[in-house]
Amino acid sequence: MSLEENKDIIRKVMETVNKRDLALLDELIAPDYVDATLQLKGLKGFRQSVTLLYEGFPDIHATIDDIIAEGDKVWDRVTLTATHTGEYRGLAPTGKKIAFKGVRIWRIVDSKVVERESFYDFLDFYKQLGIIEYKGFPDEVP
């Protein structure tokens, strides 16, 4: 696979998730897929993680801000926008609109995603939902 083809696979995964057409994931996610961050395995695990997001954030949309490929890996920097109108991992709906960023590393083998590791700004995520108050750094350091 070329680097551009690998990037296109990740773009298709995002289009599929954004369109909520999880049936197309069969073509994009390998049966032995592993999510190193969420400790999920297989296509079923990938679908479960996306379904949880849909339940908590029915209008969730991912936008790829940057995408880089090298070898069998693709890195993308994304912005997720959504409204928290359903329960998500025990959090009652807040009705708040959020936009938070993340970086993901995907590994592709034989035209399918076999592995992903994700790094999201959850401090900002919980701050936007009003779960935590983060005041930042003081203006002066003693």
Contact 62, 79 (CB under 8 A): yes
Mean pLDDT of 7-28: 95
Q: What is the pLDDT of residue 120?
A: 94
Residue 23 covered by a domain: yes
Q: What is the pLDDT of residue 134?
A: 73
- Number of domains present in the structure of the chain: 1
Calculate Rg over the CA atoms of the chain: 16
What distance separates the 2 farthest-apart alpha carbons in the chain? 57
Q: What is the pLDDT of residue 9?
A: 97
Q: What is the pLDDT of residue 74?
A: 98
Give the domain extent around 41.
3-129
pLDDT band per the 50, 70, 90 thresholds, residue 140: low
Residue 38 covered by a domain: yes
Residue 138 covered by a domain: no
Indicate the pTM of the whole model: 0.89
In this predicted model, what pLDDT tens digit does every residue of 31-78 receive, in sequence order?
Answer: 999 999 989 999 999 999 999 999 999 999 999 999 999 999 999 999
Mean pLDDT of 15-25: 93
Residue 90 covered by a domain: yes
In this predicted model, what pLDDT tens digit does every residue of 79-130 receive, in sequence order?
Answer: 999 999 999 989 999 999 999 999 999 999 999 999 999 999 988 999 999 9
Residue 100 covered by a domain: yes
Residue 97 covered by a domain: yes
**Which among 72, 80, 93 is positioned nearest to 17, based on CA atoms?**
80
Residue 142 covered by a domain: no
Output the domain CATH number for residue 60: 3.10.450.50
Residue 140 covered by a domain: no
